[in-house]
Amino acid sequence: MQNSKTVRKNIIFPEKLISRFNAVNGESGVNFSTFVRIAMEEKIEHLEKLKLEKELAEGYAANANLDRVTCNDFKFVNGENI
């Protein structure tokens, strides 16, 4: 996050979740803020990927009829001389 503007947020976590973080923190070696930042980035990337997949599926469905017509137009063409 070099040269990035930062914003301070107050977040309330369940005590059990903090205990779980503390239990594994020795293995990860990162501080709490870094851990939360990485987790947020991963979750946001996952949500963006799901959104893109949904948009692509909708686009494919919307163009399905055109794709079938195009395939039908070329059904007598073969790739023998290609």
Give the three-class secondary structure for 50.
helix
Q: Which DSSP state fits 8?
A: -
Domains of the chain by residue range: 15-73
Does the pLDDT at position 72 exceed 60? yes
CA distance 79 to 82: 5
Query: Could you tell me which residue, 26 or 62, shows the higher pLDDT?
Result: 62
Mean pLDDT is lowest, of 39-43, 44-48, 56-60, 70-74, for 70-74
pTM above 0.75, yes or no: no
- Residues with Cβ within 8 Å of 36's Cβ and at least 6 positions away in sequence, in order, are 11
